[in-house]
Amino acid sequence: MNKNPHRIERLQHLFQTEISRIIERDLKDPRVKMLSITRVIISRDLSLARVYFSTFQESTAEKCLEGFNSGSGFIHRLLLKRLILKHIPELKFYIDTSIKYARYMEDKLKKIVEGSEND
């Protein structure tokens, strides 16, 4: 088991950067577009990388996820070629809903503030 948290952090940043490049330059799936890799979380044993993304159009998030699931083997192979690592973790893709949740909370807070100003 890997106990060096700084190494994991560096790998997470490296994976985020490299997966973003692959999407931008190499992945030709039309479902995977107009998105941003928001974070990558790699397990301590380096067996799994959870890749979170957000889309600029919420309506396309599910299609993007389908495209990622379809292209995960391709992305994995490119990572194997480009990164000097003995092992590339399994990639699992997830829609990052934190931005949507933040907007929701912001709207709630605005309503609370507006309500207290009217008192």
Flag whether pLDDT at 2 surpasses 60. no
The per-residue pLDDT of the chain, averaged, comes to 90
CATH architecture assignment, domain 5-117: 2-Layer Sandwich (3.30)
Share of the chain above pLDDT 90, in %: 66
The answer to whether 12 touches 40, Cβ cutoff 8 Å, is: yes
Where are the domains positioned within the chain? 5-117
pLDDT in tens, 83-107: 989 899 999 999 998 777 777 788 8
For residue 107, how many other CB atoms are within 10 A of its CB?
A: 10
The answer to whether 50 touches 41, Cβ cutoff 8 Å, is: yes
Q: What are the angstrom distances between the C-alpha of 64 and each of 74, 80, 117?
A: 15, 22, 42
pLDDT level of residue 9 (50, 70, 90 thresholds) = very high
For residue 79, how many other CB atoms are within 10 A of its CB?
A: 19
